[in-house]
Amino acid sequence: MDQRKHPVILTIDDEENIRESFRLFLEDYDYNVLEASNGQEGLEIFAREQPDLVLCDLRMPEMDGLEVLEKIKQQAPDTPIIVISGTGVIGDAVEAIHQGAWNYLLKPIQDMSVLIHAINQALERSRLIVENRAYQEHLEEEVTRRTEALQKAIKDLNRSHLKLKESEEKYRSIFENLQDVYLEMRLDGEITEISPSISSFTQYRRESLLHTNVQNLFPSLQDREHLFARLKAENKISDYELYLLDQDETLIPCSLNASFQSGETFQDDRICATLRNITERKQAAARIEYLAYYDALTELPNRRLLLDRLEQNISRARRYGLYGAMLFLDLDRFKNINDSLGHPVGDALLKEVAQRLLHDLRAEDTVSRLGGDEFVMLLSDLGTNENEAAAAAQLKAEKIKNHLAKAYDIDGHELHVTPSIGVAMFPSSQGEQESGNDILRYADTAMYRAKDDGRDTIRFFLPSMQAAADTRLAIEKELRYALERRQINLFFQPQVNSRGDIIGAETLARWEHPDKGFISPATFIPIAEATGLILPIGEWILRTACEQLKNWNDQGLDITHLAVNVSPRQFRQPNFIAQVQGILDETGADPTRLGLELTEGMVIDNIVDTIEKMQALKKLGLELSIDDFGTGYSSLAYLKKMPLDILKIDQSFVRDIETDVNDAAIVDTIISMAKHLDLKVIAEGVETRFELDFLENKGCRLYQGYLFSRPIPKDQFTELLRRGTTLSQD
């Protein structure tokens, strides 16, 4: 159809208020709007006015939208139709698309920019299709006309020797000025004639191809055999697609129109053909296909491609016990920017937001634009633990929120936008069989909850996950100020012999929140590890412990071993050894009385780096121990290489030695192994006399646990040091 200056849009809907709202909105964009209150009236108006685009409801009395779709497609198959319906059933959308709808929108439409974007995209696609078809029809007519003229010239040449010179000149003129390529070949593939226009889109010259075999031009044996077979069967073939191999090995898509020409003898039989370069046609088709799956503005995947990937991820998650997340983002107050600065600025901002969302994106994840200022991010394979997956989704959402909040420079305007983010995990912890649309809807609901809670925030769809995420975020924020507000203190748990004489202590961090009371290390230490806050906290603990060790020694209080736990992230710092040396120098603490406790998993993680750092720490005079020994995967070969002083038996084994023969055997084995390696051994978590007697009988001489003392503040431990012994119970 011809493109009008003011496109005509036909709205078919049985709700007058819907039609009126569309007409008022679209007329502001210079569209002419026709209205029909039912399907039959819509078909009559369509046949009479031939509109450029149709907006059609799906559910109408007497004749529903699907029947209207079918009849319009029969009359004008290229007319773009957008279904706008209040039904959210995915089957309706699928059926509408199958019947020929170009898009599917849910009403009521909250953001009319989504509608105008869909209309503009459909009209642009329609224009491309119409122009492409017109171009192809023009080429077909031109090729047919010129081919007929050429064949007529050849026949005239054979009919009359008297007109030979005139006919030859006419033939040569047409032959040399063809835009497409004329090609003649024998049935054995020998090229007997080819027009000079072959040089217009290839590196070949006519002379180099004459009397060569056509397989040099068309290397695909399958394409050639299929072409010859059809010609023998039908004598004529149109628009046969195949690839031409250029001299530089480039493959050029071409279309071939060919016919079989019988000669006086078999040797005179020929195939006459015209060849056309269809690269532009292929590119136009590829562009149309691209727009079906990608957003034209940002070039991100659109809703259709997103839902396809989401369904695949849901199936994979259920199959392998994995968890994923859908993040739904809406830019706060974006409409104000659009209204005040105009759509070009708004579009440029949306493209910049898209680029920021793609930053640090994993290959398995997807960022999509749904329309307007709504974006989604699909996070795949976040692990098999639901809580850890939710924490990873929360962390990613926080990074996105912070990244998007940075200032934008758009056409000289410094702009600031913040996102409201809704998060939906999948699959559901209740085991529900959600579809991709369900997950998207959950995330959308969570996003609106974030809007309701003040914008520029993150909300999870499931209340349990939301509560956990809120708690984690609150702890993380408060943990950042805990050190400077002196909420974190050091407690000390005595390490004793069987008589209760104090020979050392383990330093333990305790967080006393002014409102929430004591917060367990099991709660805040993993958060500190994940966020990197463990680095300043760990350095503070080490420095404070050294200061206290120096203070006790200056008072003449004898403590031969003060142990400080070192986190994996802290230990892996390149400057960790220099940091320890600096703290020892600053505090004046005796390094021979300081011990560092490493976890079993930490030392095995990078054995070469671990041993190098342990040797450097030993040169400083420190004692080294492996904490929670037996819970990890240390091998005897590694232990023999490490410059260790102490093994600590994990309290989980000590706790059950009275009731579990396996744990008792493990404890016995660890003590024996320590003896063979000439290491001291400390048993953690000793709470009963039975446990103490068992350990002592097996050869363990050092203990730590509630039987002797709980972890206690500095002043109470100082008093115990003065006495030199502990009580059997607090």
| Domain co-membership, 497 together with 403 | no
Task: State both tokens at 171.
Answer: 């033939």
Per-residue pLDDT tens digits for 529-573:
877 889 999 999 999 999 999 999 999 998 999 999 999 889 988
Q: Are residues 595 and 521 in the same domain?
A: yes
15 - beta bridge partners? Answer: none
Structure confidence at residue 330 as a pLDDT band (50, 70, 90) = very high
Give dist(CA 625, CA 674) in Å, integer. Answer: 12
Query: What whole-number distance in Å separates Cα of residue 695 and Cα of residue 627?
Result: 17
317 lies in the same domain as 354:
yes
Task: Based on the fold, state whether residues 245 and 353 are members of the same structural domain.
Answer: no
Mean pLDDT value of segment 40-66: 89
Which of 166 and 183 is assigned the larger pLDDT?
Answer: 183
pLDDT tens by residue, 275-290 = 889 888 888 887 877 7
Q: Is 728 within the bounds of a domain?
A: no
* C-beta of residue 644 within 8 angstroms of C-beta of residue 626: yes
Could you tell me the two tokens for 410?
């758009």
Residues 359-403 pLDDT 10s: 878 888 999 999 889 999 999 999 898 889 999 999 999 999 999
Query: At residue 323, what are phi and psi to the nearest 5 degrees?
Result: -125, 145
Q: Are residues 454 and 390 in the same domain?
A: yes
Q: Closest Cα to residue 198, out of 212, 186, 601? A: 212
pLDDT at 61: 82
Give pTM, 2 decimals. Answer: 0.46
At 528 the pLDDT is 87
pLDDT band, very low/low/confident/very high, at 142 (cuts 50, 70, 90): confident
Query: Of the ranges 7-11, 144-148, 158-162, 467-471, which is most confident?
Result: 7-11
Q: Is 2 contained in some domain?
A: no
3-state secondary structure of 383: coil
| In-domain check, residue 153 | yes
Say which residue the tokens 């901002």 belong to: 349
Length of the chain: 730
**Domain count of the fold of the chain:** 4
- Residue 141 has a pLDDT of 84
pLDDT at residue 666 is higher than 80: yes
* Beta partners for residue 681, in sequence order: 647
* Alpha helix (H) residue ranges in 160-266: 164-177, 206-209, 221-234
322 near 316, Cβ under 8 Å?
yes
If DSSP codes are grouped into helix, strand and coil, which group holds residue 405?
coil
Whether the pLDDT of residue 86 is over 80: the answer is no
**Position 474 in a domain:** no
Between 522 and 579, where is the model more confident? 579
Q: Give the pLDDT confidence score for residue 431 in this predicted structure.
A: 53
Q: How far is CA 693 from CA 132, 497, 556, 647, 669, in A?
A: 92, 12, 32, 19, 16
Average the pLDDT over 109-124 and give the result: 85
pLDDT at 18: 87
Q: Where does a domain end: 433, 468, 503?
A: 468
Out of 173-177, 261-265, 522-526, pick the least confident: 173-177
What stretch of H or E contains 212? Answer: none
| 522 and 655 housed in the same domain | yes
- For the chain, what percent of residues have pLDDT higher than 90? 37
Q: Is the dihedral of CA 654, 657, 662, 665 positive or negative?
A: positive
Q: What is the pLDDT of residue 157?
A: 60
Residue 39 sits in a domain whose CATH number is 3.40.50.2300
Region 331-347: what's the mean pLDDT? 85
Instruction: Read off the DSSP letter of residue 495.
Output: E
- 200 within 8 A of 193, measured Cβ to Cβ: no
Q: What is the mean pLDDT of the chain?
A: 86
> Could you tell me if 488 and 616 lie in one domain?
yes
Domain-embedded: residue 118 = no
Q: Same domain, yes or no, for 304 and 434?
A: yes
pLDDT digits (tens, 9 = 90+) for 96-108: 888 888 888 887 8
Q: Which of 29-33, 90-94, 136-140, 207-211 has the lowest mean pLDDT?
A: 90-94
- Do 520 and 464 belong together in one domain? no
**Average pLDDT, stretch 208-218?**
89
Q: Give residue 435's pLDDT.
A: 87
Q: Give the whole-angstrom CA distance, residue 579 versus residue 573.
A: 9
The values of phi and psi at residue 331, to 5°, are -80, 125
Q: What are phi and psi of 87, to 5 degrees?
A: -85, 135
CATH of the domain at 410: 3.30.70.270
In a shared domain, residues 646 and 557? yes
One domain, residues 142 and 27:
no
Residue 247 located in a structural domain = yes
More reliable by pLDDT, 603 or 671: 671
**Residue 526 CB partners (closer than 8 Å, separation 6+):** none
With respect to residue 476, please indicate whether it lies within any of the assigned structural domains.
no
pLDDT of 34: 94
Region at 383 (left for phi over 0; alpha for psi -120 to 50; beta for the rest): left
Quote the percentage of the chain above a pLDDT of 70: 92
- pLDDT at residue 635 greater than cutoff 60: no
Burial of 42 (0-12, 13-18, 19+ CB in 10 A): buried
What would the mean pLDDT of 638-661 be, rounded to a whole number?
87
Per-residue pLDDT band at 694 (split at 50, 70, 90): very high
Concatenated DSSP letters for 245-294?
E-TTS-EEEEEEEEEEE--SSGGG-EEEEEEEE-HHHHHHHHHHHHHHHB
pLDDT at 729 over 50: no
What are 658's two structure tokens?
A: 């009275």
Chain center to CA of 553: 56
pLDDT at residue 633 above 80?
no
What's the CA gap between 248 and 488, in Å, rounded? 72
- Per-residue pLDDT band for 730 (boundaries 50, 70, 90) equals very low
Q: Which one, of 327, 330, 329, lies nearest residue 425 by Cα?
A: 327
Q: Which of 283, 318, 333 is the last residue of a domain?
A: 283
Of the candidate ranges 233-247, 422-436, 711-725, the one whose mean pLDDT is the lowest: 422-436
The residue among 126 and 165 whose pLDDT is bigger is 126
Looking at residue 466, its pLDDT comes to 56
Residue 647 belongs to a domain with what CATH number?
A: 3.20.20.450
Packing angle of the helix pair 534-554, 521-531 (nearest 10 deg)? 120
- Give the residue numbers spanning the domain of 104: 8-110
In a domain, 127, yes or no: no
Say whether both 247 and 166 belong to one domain: yes
